[in-house]
Amino acid sequence: MGVIFTSLERTLAAGVVVLVVIVLAVGAATGKMVSIDHAWSLFCMRWLHIMSGVMWIGLLWYLNFVQVPTMPKIQPVESRTAITKFIAPNVLFWFRYGALATVVTGALLAWMNGYIVQALMLKSPFTPIGVGMWMALIMAFNVWFIIWPKQQQILGLVEATAEQKAKAGPIALYASRFNTMFSIGMLYCMAAQSHGGF
Ligand code: HEM
């Protein structure tokens, strides 16, 4: 076990092996082996979309549920630099590329499903996913064009005056809280298109 779990790369590779075993075992049990066709590639895109969505929203919720409420409790104040110098930049890297990957896989999924334009125009019967897509697009815009630039100032990754840093704090926080607020309805719409909900 130590051979695998001492490395993230080997842990992820082991996850793929587990998946292959599951696909083969379930295929053998049900007599339905995966066939590499359009339906399967569509399914794979859905799976990649959910994985990148979990990466993004997981980190959004980590920031809002764990990091932000805990920061003021960390004493002495100087020890907070462990978070701001090491944890936060790394979180923000996976956070913003998770957001980008979710948008790309989501758009590809809608395109492969053949309804990207109708959904974005909120036309029936694709209104639920269209609303979800617009909410997630606004959230992704916030990540890349509000939260990330402001966090770069706050964390000292770019030059900023003390005044700019003080202003950046509440803007980044409110944009992040806005995304947390939107994540609830957005996820409802995502799942609702194919599984009832409206
Ligand atoms: C702009 C960004 C996004 C776009 C364009 C998008 C697009 C889509 C599309 C087209 C579907 C398929 C709906 C269907 O016909 O069943 C879908 C489903 C889904 N999406 Fe997104 N999405 C986005 C963001 C997100 C985010 C941030 C999450 C967070 C986890 C997410 C999670 C899901 C889930 C869980 C499903 C349901 C899969 C299923 O029911 O099989 N999506 N999305």
Tens digits of per-residue pLDDT, 64-114?
A: 999 999 999 999 999 999 999 999 999 999 999 999 999 999 999 999 999
> In the predicted model, what is the mean pLDDT of the chain?
97
In ligand 1, the atom with minimum distance to the C-alpha of 129 is 13
Can you tell me the distance from the alpha carbon of 166 to that of 44, in angstroms, rounded to the nearest whole number? Answer: 44
Mean pLDDT of 171-180: 98
Contact residues of ligand 1, CB 6 A cut-off: 46, 49-50, 53-54, 56-57, 102-103, 106-107, 109-110, 113, 129, 133, 136-137, 140, 187, 190-191, 193-195
How many angstroms separate the alpha carbon of residue 76 from the centre of ligand 1?
A: 42
Using an 8 Å Cβ cutoff, are 99 and 143 in contact? yes
**pLDDT at position 1:** 85
> In angstroms, rounded to a whole number, what is the distance separating the alpha carbons of residues 144 and 177?
15
- Nearest to residue 189, comparing CAs of 198, 180, 181, 179? 198
Is residue 27 very low, low, confident or very high in pLDDT (cuts 50, 70, 90)?
A: very high
- Give percent above pLDDT 70 in the chain: 100
